[in-house]
């Protein structure tokens, strides 16, 4: 299995809702990442997990709450989002943080619309 | 991370070679150059990477200048399905971040 699987593919939520995005990989990768991508912009790094521990938070608002329950799974919990948070949310994984000779594998993303 | 500079867009005729340049003049000795592409609203797809030497795989070739301050991604025979945004990224060893630059929108035309 050489894929990163993200669910759901599309999500519409109200500003008072609580929802979660899910990301799964079975490549034995020990680093996982969340990116946010607005239309016609490059992906922006949000969070980095290494060996199931949060390594980097790129000053992301607390309405986004990441969780890494095990080495294969990464969640992004969403609460009280704003319409400007509507974007494509991408998950990625890599072998580990120290190996620059190994790239990232990206999922196909979750298209989030906040109404 | 070293920053990268790419032209915002390029056109290429179908069947011809597409040469996409990237400037990374502040690159350090231990930073790898990666190329990814993103077809509309899909996740970024890995193409190729290198450190000093030129590299080739089934998708593309990567030419890195001797001073490592710039590189060129070559798609030898572009097809319509190669229309995408191409990102050049540099990644330092022992560092957690993988930052995307603005990318080049490649338009392959019949």
Interchain CB distance below 8 Å, B95 and A100: yes
> Which chain B residues are closer than 8 Å to A33 by Cβ?
98
pLDDT category of residue B41 using cuts at 50, 70 and 90 = confident
> Which chain A residues are closer than 8 Å to B51 by Cβ?
101
A102 vs B19, residue with greater confidence: B19
Interchain CB distance below 8 Å, A104 and B46: yes
Structure tokens, A33: 């990442």
If you count them, how many residues does chain B have?
110
Question: Measured in Å, how far apart are chain B's first and last C-alpha atoms?
Answer: 37
Chain-centre distance of CA B32, in angstroms? 12
Chain-centre distance of CA B90, in angstroms? 10
Average pLDDT over residues B44-67: 95
Task: State residue B92's pLDDT score.
Answer: 63
* pLDDT > 70: percent of chain A: 99
CA distances from B80 to B14, B67, B108 (A): 6, 33, 5
Mean pLDDT, all residues of chain B: 91
> What is Dmax (Cα atoms) for chain B?
43
């Amino acid at each position: 299995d050489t894929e990163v699987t993200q669910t759901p593919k599309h999500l519409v939520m109200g500003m008072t809702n609580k929802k979660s995005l899910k990301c799964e990989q079975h490549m034995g990768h020990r680093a996982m990442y969340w990116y946010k991508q607005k239309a016609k912009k490059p992906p922006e790094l949000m969070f980095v997990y290494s060996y199931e521990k949060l390594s980097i938070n790129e000053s992301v608002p607390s309405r986004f709450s990441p969780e890494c329950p095990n080495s294969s799974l990464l969640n992004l919990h969403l609460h009280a989002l704003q319409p400007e948070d509507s974007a494509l949310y991408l998950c990625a994984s890599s072998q580990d943080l120290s190996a620059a000779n190994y790239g990232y594998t990206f999922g196909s993303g979750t298209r989030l619309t906040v109404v | 991370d070293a920053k990268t500079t790419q032209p915002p867009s390029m056109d290429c005729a179908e069947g011809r070679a597409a040469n996409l340049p990237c400037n990374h003049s502040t690159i350090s000795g231990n930073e790898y150059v990666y190329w990814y592409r993103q077809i509309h609203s899909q996740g970024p797809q890995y193409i190729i990477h290198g450190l000093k030497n030129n590299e080739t795989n089934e998708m593309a070739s990567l030419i890195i200048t001797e001073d490592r301050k710039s590189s060129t991604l070559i798609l030898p025979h572009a097809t319509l399905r190669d229309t995408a945004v191409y990102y050049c990224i540099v990644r330092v060893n022992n560092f957690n971040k993988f930052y995307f630059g603005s990318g080049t929108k490649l338009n392959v035309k019949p």
